[in-house]
Chains A and B, each alone.
Chain A
Amino acid sequence: MTANIPGLEPLVDDVSSVPSAVEERGVGRRHTSRRRLYLRRFLRNRGAVVGLAILALLILFALAGSLFTSYTYTDVDFANLSSAPSPEHVFGTNGAGNDTYAQAVHGLQRSLVIALAVSLLTTMIAAFVGAAAAYLGGLPEKIILGVVHFLLVVPSFLILALVSQRAHGDWRVLILVLTVFGWMFGARVVWSLTTSLREREYVQAARYMGVGPVRIVLRHLIPNIGSLLIVSFTLGVVATVQSETALSFIGFGVQLPDVSLGTMLSDGANTVSSAPWLFYFPAGLVTLLTVSMALIGDGLRDALDPTSRSGGRA
């Protein structure tokens, strides 16, 4: 906040100083740890809490959902082709007679595994490449940034489709290609943040003390971009689900006989007026997944970022 109103200071930066400074004066309030403060700020964000609850339910559904049906996602019930939801098939069946409920459980599992794996990998690559560029500086920095910029410009979706098409929908290959074309944006953000951290006085202080470069990166740089990485991981999950869904929807992602939420959507799209349940259930699940992750990411950013405005709006 640029407005220089002294009374506002406790509202925005170092909120954590307030309780402890009070304690120093002997009022006797307990010292609030950093983690508890983050938790408090996160819990105050109603959207984030709702998102967390939805995500927990989704994960529970993906893990334990198969216990409530006798069908697997590949089983075919020839007596019920394209039948509407019924006690036998609670989400109905598709044109081939697959149980939609069983497919949804499996599809959600598949989408979740892909999203979590890709997001984890891209965040790690982004952190490493971004920090390396910022730390090395000079020519290596220019080259890395050039590559990142170029990869941002190439129609990566097309290349994704090319590669994944050839792999015939193997989800492990999908993880690989989504990772290869997914880390650039994060790397740029990490780079710009690390570059500004590099100029901080405490990093300068460490350098003037004779602290070695590796130690500076490990002790001063990485811990201070930690919160960014956590947030970028959550938002990475959203982006990956979006890409996976899109690819599978046009037939270049996960392919039959494997099932993901994207392939189910594509299935449902063709029969949206004749068998709408084939669209409703996967659409609901995928939307809940992306929106809940986005809300959590939002809440985390507000909770971890000391300059965010979520602090103290009584």
Chain B
Amino acid sequence: MLRYVARKIVSWTLMIVLATNLTYFLANWFLDPRANYLQLRPPRTPEQIDRALSQYDLSPDTPLLVRWWHWISNIVLHWNWGYSPVGEAVNGQIAFRIGVSAQLVLLSTILSTVIGIALAVYTAARQYRFADRFNQSLSIITLNIPVPVAGLAVVLLAIAFNRSLGSTLLFVAGAQSPTVTGFWPLVLDRLRHLALPTIALTVINYAGYHLLQRSLLLDNINADYVRMARAKGLTRTEAIRRHGLRTSLIPVATSIAFTVPALFTGAVLTETIFAWEGMGRYFVTTISKNDVHGAVAVAAFGALMTAFGAILADLAVVALDPRVRVTGS
């Protein structure tokens, strides 16, 4: 078992390294850090710009492979992910942003999985009745609403809600208020900020789980072993819950891993809409500011998240499915 996990980690690490380096070369190719200095007043000479960029290993005059070597050895030796064209350390930016994004993504992943699966169990037992048809239509719609539309719709609803309440219960912008102190007030403040973006991300994501889990469950409801469980004396609902659900969770667990990239894209948009200074927002900033090192760090983070999701999904499958357990160990 341990060997299996170790092997997985090794192969994913390889994947991350490859993806990060690929992004490094692409970013150097497509982003031009000189642009950041060209707009400055008074105008700088090319030599000045080059000198400024050289200290951050960003000057296009230095051969790319030399820059790459500096960049990678700094990461490996000092865990230093480089600097932006104007000299901000990437490490410093990322440190607090990861936490900000993580709360958002984690919470909405948990919520959308739980809601999606629960809804699937509920509707699958009522196949083709009103509750099923209604929820299925709703899921098809929410699954296909573009993220900005869903996000802004949540904003509009929240504004209307706050207005009718007469006070701002839910914040539509930012991750926290700067003036709040004390533990409980802080938690409350966080929650009031977290609520809307989490709702937005959850609305977008739950439907995928609902539809997948529902169709898997329906396949399983007709499976021979569920019929046999009923023949033993379980009611239909019990048989589905005890025998059908756990078996049909296996493919869903696998699919969670592959939704991570989509979730990341969703987070980029949600953070933009709700003005959260997280990794998603950083992603937009780095690219528009030609911040090569920052963009690469975002890519590495994205790949790491995917790997993390995939390994978790593998472990979940192993926990759920004894057939894998035997061949895996």
Enumerate chain A interface residues (CB-CB to B < 8 A): 1-3, 47, 150, 152-159, 161-163, 165-166, 238, 241-242, 245-246, 249-252, 262, 265-266, 268-269, 272-273, 276, 279, 283, 286-287, 290-291, 293-295, 298, 309, 313
Chain B contact residues, majority secondary structure: helix
Assess whether A291 is in contact with B19, with CB atoms less than 8 Å apart.
Answer: no
Assess whether A287 is in contact with B223, with CB atoms less than 8 Å apart.
Answer: no
Q: Could you pull out 15 A-B pairs where Cβ atoms are within 8 angstroms?
A: A2-B224, A150-B19, A155-B23, A158-B299, A161-B284, A162-B31, A165-B30, A245-B149, A246-B269, A251-B288, A252-B288, A269-B148, A279-B156, A287-B141, A309-B218
Contact bitstring B135-177, A, C-beta under 8 A = 1, else 0: 0010011011111110011011001000000000000000000
Assess whether B287 is in contact with A161, with CB atoms less than 8 Å apart.
Answer: yes
CB-based nearest A residue for B219: A2
The smallest C-beta distance from B164 to any residue of chain A, in angstroms, reads 15
Q: Which residues of A contact B284 (CB under 8 A)?
A: 161, 250-252
Assess whether B69 is interfacial by the CB under 8 Å rule: no
The smallest C-beta distance from A203 to any residue of chain B, in angstroms, reads 26
Assess whether B303 is in contact with A155, with CB atoms less than 8 Å apart.
Answer: yes
Q: Which residues of B contact A246 (CB under 8 A)?
A: 146-148, 265, 268-269
CB-based nearest B residue for A241: B146
The smallest C-beta distance from B286 to any residue of chain A, in angstroms, reads 9
Q: Which residues of A contact B155 (CB under 8 A)?
A: 272
Assess whether B298 is interfacial by the CB under 8 Å rule: yes
Q: Please give the number of chain B residues whose Cβ is less than 8 angstroms from any Cβ of chain A in the complex.
A: 49
Q: Which residues of B contact A273 (CB under 8 A)?
A: 159
Q: How long is the Cα–Cα vector from A47 to B223 in the complex, in angstroms?
A: 28
Assess whether B298 is in contact with A158, with CB atoms less than 8 Å apart.
Answer: yes
Assess whether B273 is in contact with A269, with CB atoms less than 8 Å apart.
Answer: yes
CB-based nearest A residue for B151: A269
Assess whether B18 is interfacial by the CB under 8 Å rule: yes
Given contacts A158-B295, A250-B272, contact A265 B302 (CB under 8 A): no
Q: Which residues of B contact A162 (CB under 8 A)?
A: 23, 26-27, 30-31, 287, 295
List 4 tightest A-B contacts by C-beta distance, closest first: A155-B302, A290-B144, A294-B144, A154-B19
Starting from the known contacts A162-B287, A242-B146, 4 additional A-B residue pairs (CB-CB under 8 Å) come to A245-B146, A250-B284, A252-B284, A291-B145
Given contacts A2-B223, A250-B284, A251-B284, contact A283 B140 (CB under 8 A): no
Assess whether B68 is interfacial by the CB under 8 Å rule: no
Q: How long is the Cα–Cα vector from A269 to B274 in the complex, in angstroms?
A: 11
Q: Which residues of B contact A266 (CB under 8 A)?
A: 148
The smallest C-beta distance from A168 to any residue of chain B, in angstroms, reads 12
Given contacts A162-B295, A283-B149, A287-B149, contact A153 B268 (CB under 8 A): no
Given contacts A2-B222, A155-B299, A294-B140, contact A166 B149 (CB under 8 A): no
Given contacts A2-B222, A154-B19, contact A252 B287 (CB under 8 A): yes
Given contacts A156-B261, A249-B269, contact A298 B152 (CB under 8 A): no
The smallest C-beta distance from B14 to any residue of chain A, in angstroms, reads 10
Q: How long is the Cα–Cα vector from A160 to B15 in the complex, in angstroms?
A: 19
The answer, among B23, B143, B222, B303, for a CB contact under 8 Å with A294, is B143
The answer, among A150, A156, A269, A291, for a CB contact under 8 Å with B141, is A291
Assess whether B148 is in contact with A166, with CB atoms less than 8 Å apart.
Answer: no
Assess whether B283 is in contact with A279, with CB atoms less than 8 Å apart.
Answer: no
Assess whether B86 is interfacial by the CB under 8 Å rule: no
Q: How long is the Cα–Cα vector from A186 to B27 in the complex, in angstroms?
A: 27
Q: How long is the Cα–Cα vector from A165 to B82 in the complex, in angstroms?
A: 22
Assess whether A3 is in contact with B146, with CB atoms less than 8 Å apart.
Answer: no
Assess whether B148 is in contact with A154, with CB atoms less than 8 Å apart.
Answer: no
Assess whether B96 is interfacial by the CB under 8 Å rule: no
Assess whether B227 is interfacial by the CB under 8 Å rule: yes
Interface centre among A161, A166, A269, A273 (most CB of B within 10 A): A161
Q: Which residues of B contact A265 (CB under 8 A)?
A: 146, 148-149, 152
Q: Which residues of A contact B303 (CB under 8 A)?
A: 153-155
Assess whether B31 is in contact with A166, with CB atoms less than 8 Å apart.
Answer: yes
